[in-house]
Amino acid sequence: MIEFSLIMATYGRKEEIDIFLKSLTVQTYDISKVEIIIVDQNDKIILDDICSKYNSILNIKHIKSDKKGLSFNRNIGLEVASGKYIAFPDDDCTYYPNTLLEVEKIFNEEKNLDVALGRIYDKKTQKNIIRNWKNYLYKVNINNFFLSYSSITIFLKRNTIKFDDQFGVGTFFGSSEDADYILQLLKSKKSIVYTPNIEVWHPDLSGNVMSEEKIYSYGLGFGALVKKHLSLSLIYLFIQAIGYHILKFFSALIVFNKYEMKKRYISIVSRFKGYYLYENK
């Protein structure tokens, strides 16, 4: 009986997938109750050998997709998932040996729980990754969701909600697919908690230099998210984001940092443009 379906939409990576699959082989959880659904968008990289390497140990479903797009291909995975619980690992993340055991534990303790959100954490350095994750359990709502999630920290009971394929990598609105997914869950009255006990690992992105194209695409996604789920909470979030980038722009202006000024300008303009251009289906 399958308890967990781990849906990984992948493009452009191979060695990282090997490392992720290896992390599953040392789970303290019964790995025979886990299926890994790899939705493969690659046109040059071949993953067959990686899948074959672990086929005798892991239950792998390798699905090849000829259409690019993170949300679209996660939805392909959702269509074939058979587990009680669903997760969306990135193709460059790993699970700790107790990750799945902790997920099962929180669902057993919280009988009416629909979604558990964990944190991205480096156990070697004992540091949070990507954001300043809280050290306590709390209920997630529309007012606090934005700093409570990453797509790879979402673990939920299987349901009929799909990702909006207008959002995410590979689309015009190139971000916020995970935020949109959380908001869909909240609007469906799903019970969501954040717990620091569920931990996954991902490379730290703080030192990465984001291209202007990606900054623009991310901003479009954020603006579209606010337009789609328009509410006082989302308007406040939008104002906070614009205010933050305006402050950063003027800080860069004082020292005449042209690159930083341009980056902040793109961040501001793209958010307004995403808001203006988004239309509900």
What is the C-alpha separation between 47 and 10, in angstroms, rounded? 10
**What pLDDT does 210 receive?**
80
Q: Residues 199, 203, 207, 212: is their CA dihedral positive or negative?
A: negative
Question: Structure tokens of 252?
Answer: 């860069």
- The partner residues of 40 in beta bridges, in order of sequence, read 10, 64
Closest CA to 169 of 74, 45, 35: 74
**What pLDDT does 205 receive?**
75
**What pLDDT does 280 receive?**
77
Question: Structure tokens of 169?
Answer: 């990598």
* pLDDT tens for the 281 residues of the chain, in order: 999 999 999 999 999 999 999 999 999 999 999 999 999 999 999 999 999 999 999 999 999 999 999 999 999 999 999 999 999 999 999 999 999 999 999 999 998 999 999 999 999 999 999 999 999 999 999 999 999 999 999 999 999 999 999 999 999 999 999 999 999 999 999 999 999 999 999 998 765 668 899 999 999 999 999 999 999 999 999 999 999 999 999 999 999 999 999 999 999 999 999 999 999 76
Give the global pTM: 0.94
**What pLDDT does 122 receive?**
96
**What pLDDT does 69 receive?**
94
